[in-house]
Structure 1
C-alpha cells in the first residue's frame, strides 16, 4: 500500500461526464451513506470552469509517444482541437494525457475558495489519462489519479486494466474484416473471461469504488488496498476489476469497518 498524509474530508464534489455511461448522481447516492462528508454533484468540470488557457493546458499534457516522457504539442491546430473538444466533448478521443499535468491544471481552475484538502473535487473525465513509469520507461493508462482534484477517467476504466489476450486478437481480426471495432456483444460471446468495454452498462457500478478510493486517499493517507476482493483494490487486469468492483463482498474486513453502510 502507498501511504501519504491523512486529511479530514468533510465535502466531496463529483462532476458529471455527460457523454459517457457514468452516472455521477448514482455514484454520489451510493457514496453518501458510506462516508462522513457532504456529497454534491455538479455539471461537467470542463464546462463549469473552462477558460482561454485550458485548451493549451490540455495540448501541453498530450502524450506524443508511449515510450517518450516528453509531452505536449501546442501547434495552433492542436489547441483548436482541444477548444472544440471542451466545447463539444463528443469530438474528443484517441488521445492520452499526462494525468499529473491535467490534475495540476484542473486544480488551478478549481474555485479559489474551494481548493483546501477538506473539500475533495472528483471530475469524471471523458479523456484517457496516464502516468509515466520510470521502472519500464513507458506511459500507463490509469482509471484514476489520486490527489486534489482526483481524476477518474471513464474511458480509462475500459482501456487501462488489461483484457484477456484473446480480446485483442478478436478486435484485430474484426477490424481487418470490417474496418471498425466489433460490438461489445460480439467480443463478449467470442472471448472467455470477464471484462468491461466502452459504454458497458456496469460502468457506474464499477466506478463507485474508484471514486471512493479518491476520498480514502485524502482521508486516511492510504492509496489502495492489497485485498483483491475490496473496492479499494487497484487491479491491473480486467478480471480483477470485475472481482473488486462487481462482486461481493464490497470490502475486505478492514475496510468494511470504515465503509459498509
Structure 2
C-alpha cells in the first residue's frame, strides 16, 4: 500500500512536476487509492535532502568507461565539481552515474521519519544514470531506476532510448561543419522517425508514465509491462517511447482496467 508519494522537481521548466503530480493523482484515484494516496510536490531532491557526503557519493558513482564495471573518481577536483553541480545544476552534464549507487546515496539522505514502506519518494533528476549489464558487459543509460527513492532522469529520457541511425549521422555531419550540435528543428525536419531531444516540449507528458512505473512497482511488485505502447512499458528505442508515452491508448488492456 502506498499512502504518500513525494515527487521532487527537476531544475528545468520542461519537466513540470506539478502537472505530473496532478496526472498521477487521477490515475491512483482510478486505481482505488484516491482516498489514501497523497501525492505531494517538493523542490529538487538534492536541495531538500542535502547532506555533506553527497558530492563525494556522486563522485564515487561516476562511470569511468562504458565497458568497465568499476566506478568512481574521488580526487579533490572531481568532488569540487560535484559540489558546484549541486549548487548550480545548469553547469552539470556530460557525466554518467551508476544509478544504483546514486539511489543508495539519496536513500541515505532521507530522514528516518520519511523511510516507511508506504512513503515513496520519486526524484526527477538532472543527471544521466545507468545500470550495468551483466549480459553484455557494459553500462546502459536508463530513464528510471525503480526503488526508494525512485530515480527518473530527465536527460535519460532523451539519451537512453536509441534514436534512428540517421539522427546520429546528421548530428555528426552538422558537428563537422559547424562544430556544434544542430538545433532540434533541423533534426526533426531532416531525420525520419519520431524521437525526443533535449528540452523537448513533450518532456512533461512523456515523464508521466515513468513516474507511474515507480509507483506501480511499489504498489504491485511488477516492474515493467511487456506490452508495447503501454505507459508502463520500458522501450529501448525512441519510437517506442513516443508510442507508449505520447500516443493513445495510454495503457494495455490489463493496465487500462487499473489506471485508464
Q: 1:24 aligns with which of 17, 24, 38?
A: 17
SS at match of 2:7: strand
Partners of 1:20 and 1:126 within 8 A in 2: no
SS at match of 1:67: coil
Q: What displacement does 1:117 show?
A: 1.9
Q: What displacement does 1:222 show?
A: 0.4
Deviation by residue 1:143-176 (Cα, 9 ceiling, x = unmatched): 0000111000000000000000000000001111
Are the structure 2 counterparts of residues 151 and 158 from structure 1 closer, same or farther at C-alpha, using a change threshold of 3 Å? same
Q: What displacement does 1:20 show?
A: 5.1
1:201 maps to which residue? 201
1:16-165 → structure 2 map (5 Å cutoff): 16-19=9-12, 21-35=14-28, 36=33, 37-165=37-165
Partners of 1:233 and 1:244 within 8 A in 2: yes
User: Aligned partners of 2:13, 2:61: CA distance in 1, in Å?
Assistant: 22
User: Aligned partners of 2:101, 2:3: CA distance in 1, in Å?
Assistant: 26
User: Aligned partners of 1:229, 1:176: CA distance in 2, in Å?
Assistant: 36
1:9 maps to which residue? 2
Count of aligned positions: 253
Q: What displacement does 1:9 show?
A: 0.8
User: Aligned partners of 2:102, 2:116: CA distance in 1, in Å?
Assistant: 18
Deviation by residue 1:29-67 (Cα, 9 ceiling, x = unmatched): 111011121100000000111122100000000000000
Question: Which of 135-144 and 114-123 deviates more?
Answer: 114-123
RMSD: 0.7
1:257 maps to which residue? 257
The gaps in structure 2 that reach 5 residues or longer are: none
**TM-score, normalising length from structure 2?**
0.96
1:219 maps to which residue? 219
The gaps in structure 1 that reach 5 residues or longer are: 1-7
**TM-score, normalising length from structure 1?**
0.96
SS at match of 2:189: helix
> Which aligned segments of 4 or more residues in structure 1 are displaced greater than 2 angstroms?
none
| Structure with more contact order per residue of length (Cα contacts < 8 Å, sep ≥ 6) | 1
SS at match of 2:244: helix
User: Aligned partners of 1:69, 1:161: CA distance in 2, in Å?
Assistant: 21
